[in-house]
Amino acid sequence: MIRESLTPRVNWQEQFEALGFTYHSIDDLYWDERYAYRFTAAQIDTLEDATSELHQMALQAVEHVIAKERLEQFAIPQPFWALVEESWRDQEFSLYGRFDLSWNGQGAPKMLEYNADTPTGLVESSVAQWYWLQDVLPQADQFNSLHEKLIAQWQTLASRHQCKGLLHFACIGGHEEDEGNLAYLRDTAIQAGFATKQLAIENIGWDERHAEFVDDHDIKIDNLFKLYPWEWLCREAFADHLLARPLRLVEPAWKMVLSNKAILPVLWELFPGHPNLLPAFFDAWRISGDFVKKPLYSREGENITIYAGGEVHHQPGQYGAEGYIYQAFAPQPKFDDGITPAYASIGSWVVGDAPAGIGIREDVSLITKDTSRFIPHYFVD
């Protein structure tokens, strides 16, 4: 895993805006092609194998949590426990997820967390860095089959899960990054043959007379992809209506378990010493050495605290009321060219149950935040 300095392409901004990647320069610098990460084919195999194994272990952990009735540890509201269990037993459709890994190209990649409900970074991980590769290093390859696998997974929803009719897509209105990711996912669904409609989640209503959710034109919502986390959804005023399962939701309710940081100590309990896992516990006293304190619910690094090397690194935020877990510290590799030092985090994608590619984020701090930069990658034999 080598970080290389490159010369950015001319007019790359126009190319990306034509692709719908309009937020490429959010916070002044988000997409950053002054650099690229180079891997070997063997290193990509290591990442792919680790991602596949971690995903299968995570599914086993969901089964364990539900079978052993441990949902309370996940701070999931009790009225939703039955919904989580039913969605798991019914094997409700899952589209995608993203592992965040710490790895420098040697040894075993370490799982930091699993963003399995509302991961973003899709446009840049799929089409943006693929177009970059074709322009800059057409002779090289890239761990990136996101686009094809997303289309195929939507087709699985239609065939194996008998999904018919209109497929709605919703996120918070006015959030450019979320709307960009949603529009991209909607496009892959259209390519898979679905009729779709996109709207702001705040424009979804409840029709009391017919006991159904409707969109802003009073059209019934039968199938909804929501780029809106379950921990928010089940605390909304209309949340009780979800318990009767009046519509199909993607991602399903069982993803509340998989996307929660509480899955980390459960994984360590079930697979102690696994090379791709870090020791993690519900109790701080069980951690020895450097560690990270993580809220059960947290996004973009908020409310994460790292205790390492006698120093404390903390990112403020709005999370933590539901509780914390404690995970051994695994520092992301640091790269420094004397111009832009950075800590790199690898996001490894899963579509359905299959690894589908990686995207790399950089930050000047040990905590990857919403202001972190996205760096393209490639590999050679």
Least confident of 130-144, 252-266, 311-325: 311-325
The gap from C-alpha 274 to its chain's centroid, in whole angstroms, comes to 22
- The residues, ordered by sequence, that sit 6+ positions from 125 with a Cβ below 8 Å of its Cβ are 144, 146, 347, 349, 357, 358, 359, 374
Residue 300 vs residue 373, higher pLDDT: 373
Residue 361 vs residue 302, higher pLDDT: 361
**Per-residue pLDDT, 88:** 98
**Per-residue pLDDT, 124:** 96
* Mean pLDDT calculated for residue range 178-194: 97
Is the pLDDT assigned to residue 371 strictly greater than 80?
no
CA pair distance 220, 69, nearest whole angstrom: 34
Q: Which residue type, as a one-letter code, is found at position 191?
A: Q
pLDDT in tens, 199-234: 999 999 999 999 999 999 999 999 999 999 999 999
With a pLDDT cut of 90, the percent of the chain lying above it is 85
Is the pLDDT assigned to residue 167 strictly greater than 80?
yes
Give 342's strand partners. 335
**Per-residue pLDDT, 282:** 97
**Per-residue pLDDT, 200:** 96
pLDDT band at 28 (very low <50, low <70, confident <90, very high): confident
**Per-residue pLDDT, 366:** 77
CA pair distance 287, 360, nearest whole angstrom: 28
The gap from C-alpha 9 to its chain's centroid, in whole angstroms, comes to 28
Q: Token digits for 205?
A: 């209503």
* Mean pLDDT calculated for residue range 254-276: 97
pLDDT band at 313 (very low <50, low <70, confident <90, very high): confident
Give 224's strand partners. 168, 249
3-state secondary structure string across 60-85: HHHHHHHHCCCHHHHCCCHHHHHHHH
DSSP 141: B
With a pLDDT cut of 70, the percent of the chain lying above it is 99
- Do residues 380 and 373 make contact, with C-beta atoms less than 8 angstroms apart? no
* Mean pLDDT calculated for residue range 136-155: 98
pLDDT band at 314 (very low <50, low <70, confident <90, very high): confident
**Per-residue pLDDT, 237:** 87
Is the pLDDT assigned to residue 368 strictly greater than 80?
no
**Quick one: CA dihedral 145, 105, 333, 257, positive or negative?**
positive
The secondary structure of 115-133 as a DSSP string is E-SS---HHIIIIIHHHHH
Is the pLDDT assigned to residue 276 strictly greater than 80?
yes
Strands 377-380 and 35-40: parallel
Q: Token digits for 335?
A: 């790269």
CA pair distance 96, 355, nearest whole angstrom: 10
pLDDT in tens, 299-308: 777 889 989 8
Any idea which residue has 């800059």 for tokens? 136
pLDDT in tens, 37-71: 999 999 999 999 999 999 999 999 999 999 999 99
The gap from C-alpha 250 to its chain's centroid, in whole angstroms, comes to 14
* Mean pLDDT calculated for residue range 167-195: 96
Rounded to 5 degrees, φ, ψ at 125 are: -75, -30
pLDDT band at 197 (very low <50, low <70, confident <90, very high): very high
CA pair distance 109, 53, nearest whole angstrom: 11
